[in-house]
Amino acid sequence: MSEKTKRQRGEEKIKDVYAGDVITPPEGHAFTDIMLETLFADIWTRETLSMRDKRILLIGMIAAQGEQDTFKIQVKASLKRGETTPEEIRELHILIAQYCGYPKAAKLLTPMEEAIAEAQEDLENSDK
């Protein structure tokens, strides 16, 4: 597969993974080029795990690191793509608190609720 084709596949997949909410990085920066050509073109397109399985695992790993912004992005994308429901996200948050600790989980509460509200608003607006 040519590098351009691999990059295009990565660009398509990043748009899919993030429900169109993440801007595709321009070509020419080694970090983002490798990310698109490896993470999105190769890893996210593998079929052994479903997108939902990958997303739930990713949400848990990001929560364990206490990454509030990335957590919000992942939660919102999972909701917009129909991979999870608000109730499932809130249930994941309860589980995250038990395994990652209450201080980390407490910091994720606001971004989680913001993501739920924003995803619901985006979905409602797309139906119009």
Sequence spans of domains, the chain: 3-43, 51-126
User: Which amino acid is it at 124?
Assistant: E
How far, in Å, CA of 6 to CA of 21, rounded? Answer: 21
pTM recorded for the entire structure: 0.90
- What residues contact residue 25 under an 8 Å CB cut-off, 6+ apart? 32, 35, 36
pLDDT at 35 > cutoff 80: yes
pLDDT mean over 41-54 = 96
- The predicted structure's pLDDT at residue 77: 97
For residues 86 and 105, is the Cβ–Cβ distance under 8 A? no
Q: Which CATH number fits domain 51-126: 2.60.40, 1.10.3470, 1.20.1290, 1.10.10?
A: 1.20.1290
All residues at 6 or more sequence positions from 70 whose CB lies less than 8 Å from its CB, including other chains:
62
DSSP 3-state assignment of 121? Answer: helix
Tracing tokens 């997949």 back to the chain, one arrives at: 13
Q: How does DSSP assign 28-84, residue by residue?
A: T-HHHHHIIIIIIIIITT-SSS-HHHHHHHHHHHHHHHT-HHHHHHHHHHHHHTTS-
Distance of CA 30 to the CA centre of its chain: 22
pLDDT tens-digit map of 69-104: 999 999 999 999 999 999 999 999 999 999 999 999
Residue with tokens 């608190």: 97
